[in-house]
Structure 1
């Protein structure tokens, strides 16, 4: 009983036990994890601009609504090509000596997961417009706007980026809307978020609880095509809008578009697979088909949806014709 009556011995013993447990339960396992944990071989470290954007991402509270974790369940398949693995997060390091980084993996998915957003939505114009006013590109978005990342100027200076905002969202604004450096850094970070391919021969974990897909029956040449409207919503609607009317000065309309209505299938498929930068009044379109690894059947379904929606009444195309063009594009890109 003398031990329990001596407060000095009791305190030293408790402190010693605490330090011993901390060493074996916390410190040693953490050091072992650090030693045995490394990014995937093809991992690309953040650039200086992207690293600054990461800090802005944290400072503006984006971590509260967006996750960066693709779970191995089928409902997460829209966010990445494969479920996440521990090595995907090995490149996340401390902010500095005193501070650990924020929980970039996230705890709540109020907004879409951003694991692979750099592939799904790499366009600079779209990302800046989305930051300035999310409802310009996603009508029912609940994301707050970040106007403090932009400034109003009379002229666009050298190396400055103007954000083309639709008239209905420019009320009371006279001048050019210019993205600040912080906005450009934040977009650079978002563009860097891409799932690193697994090493050759390494198969990813399967997605669990897969849903049974119901193909949409089409004409005799296109039996069992996937749902073109769903694919359009997933891959195209964020820019060209659900009504196909696009956004004035930012993204061209598909409703009544000569490219959609014409019979020049080579140009149509090329735009989807390799992107488009031929018109000064609109933002550059990224290579949606290649970035999102769309199959010939999926590209065909999207094209036919666009050709027959919003009052468009053009001749539909076949998978065989689309596949020939895609194969040619892929062969040409390897040369």
Structure 2
């Protein structure tokens, strides 16, 4: 009983036990994990701007609504090409001697997962508009607007990055300009991509649901029974909008577009597969088809939706036609 009556012995033993537990429960497993989990070959470290953007991401509590982990269930397949593995997070290093870095895996998906958002949505223009006010590009969004990351100037300089914001979303005259912090946050979002596995195996998604083609489809070769409207909503609607009218000064309209209505769908398919950067009045379109790994059947369904919606009345393209055009595009130089 003398042990419990002596406060020095009691607190000394408690402190010793705490040290032992720290070593065996925290330090040794951490060192072991560091040895057994190395970054994947080809995995890129964050740039200085992306690192600063990550700190802004953390400071604004974005991790509360966005995860960065693709689970191995089929419902997560839209967030990445493969399930996440430990090596995906091994590139993270300590912020400094006293602070560890945040992996930002998250626990809640109030908003979409961001594991591969740099591939899904690499457009700087879209990300800046979305940060200024998410309702501009996604009307149903519940994400808060980060308008304090932007400034309004009557006469922007040549160095300023001007954001195309519709007049109805402005509360004062002038042009909206992205601050350094906004550009850094976008740099971090653009850096979020999945590194290819060395053996080329994409990983296995479990509990896959069987998708049945629509037997009542008027022409199975036209759309393969796929829902072009749903595919458009997933891959195109964020920029070109549900009504196909795009966003003035940022994203071109598909409604009445001569590219969409052209009898020859080659240019339209080329833009979907490889992106487009030849219009000064609009932002750069990413290579949606390549980035998302869209199959000919999916591309045909998207094209047919765009060519027959919002008053458009172009002929439908067939899956076989899309396949032939894709093969021809892949053989072109610099593609």
> TM range, normalised to the smaller chain?
over 0.9
Q: Mean Cα displacement is larger for which, 281-290 or 5-14?
A: 5-14
Compared with structure 1, are the counterparts of its residues 208 and 261 closer, same or farther at alpha carbon in structure 2 (3 Å cutoff)? Answer: same
Kindly state the Cα deviation for residue 333 of structure 1 after the two structures are TM-superposed: 4.9
Instruction: Report the secondary structure of 2:76's partner residue.
Output: helix
Instruction: Please give the alpha-carbon distance, in whole angstroms, between the structure 1 residues aligned to 2:89 and 2:202.
Output: 16
Instruction: Please give the alpha-carbon distance, in whole angstroms, between the structure 2 residues aligned to 1:274 and 1:204.
Output: 22
Corresponding residue number in structure 2 for 1:175: 174
Instruction: Please give the alpha-carbon distance, in whole angstroms, between the structure 2 residues aligned to 1:333 and 1:42.
Output: 25
Q: Mean Cα displacement is larger for which, 70-79 or 322-331?
A: 322-331
Does residue 322 (structure 1) correspond to residue 327 (structure 2)? The answer is: no
Instruction: Report the secondary structure of 1:222's partner residue.
Output: helix
TM-score (norm 1): 0.95
TM-score (norm 2): 0.95
Corresponding residue number in structure 1 for 2:148: 148
Corresponding residue number in structure 1 for 2:332: 332
Compared with structure 1, are the counterparts of its residues 148 and 232 closer, same or farther at alpha carbon in structure 2 (3 Å cutoff)? Answer: same
Kindly state the Cα deviation for residue 324 of structure 1 after the two structures are TM-superposed: 1.4
Instruction: Please give the alpha-carbon distance, in whole angstroms, between the structure 2 residues aligned to 1:279 and 1:11.
Output: 72
Does residue 30 (structure 1) correspond to residue 36 (structure 2)? The answer is: no
Instruction: Please give the alpha-carbon distance, in whole angstroms, between the structure 2 residues aligned to 1:306 and 1:98.
Output: 54
Instruction: Please give the alpha-carbon distance, in whole angstroms, between the structure 2 residues aligned to 1:249 and 1:214.
Output: 40
Corresponding residue number in structure 1 for 2:199: 200
Compared with structure 1, are the counterparts of its residues 167 and 215 closer, same or farther at alpha carbon in structure 2 (3 Å cutoff)? Answer: farther
Pairing of 1:280-299 with structure 2 (within 5 A): 280-299=280-299
Compared with structure 1, are the counterparts of its residues 220 and 105 closer, same or farther at alpha carbon in structure 2 (3 Å cutoff)? Answer: closer
Instruction: Please give the alpha-carbon distance, in whole angstroms, between the structure 1 residues aligned to 2:49 and 2:158.
Output: 18
Compared with structure 1, are the counterparts of its residues 290 and 237 closer, same or farther at alpha carbon in structure 2 (3 Å cutoff)? Answer: same
Pairing of 1:174-323 with structure 2 (within 5 A): 174-201=173-200, 203-216=201-214, 217-219=217-219, 221-222=221-222, 224-323=224-323
Task: Give the total of aligned pairs.
Answer: 333
1:12-35 alpha-carbon deviations (Å, 9 max, x no partner): 222222212221221111111112
Instruction: Please give the alpha-carbon distance, in whole angstroms, between the structure 2 residues aligned to 1:53 and 1:13.
Output: 45
Corresponding residue number in structure 2 for 1:95: 95
CA RMSD after TM alignment: 1.6
Structure 1 gaps, min length 5 = none
Kindly state the Cα deviation for residue 295 of structure 1 after the two structures are TM-superposed: 1.0
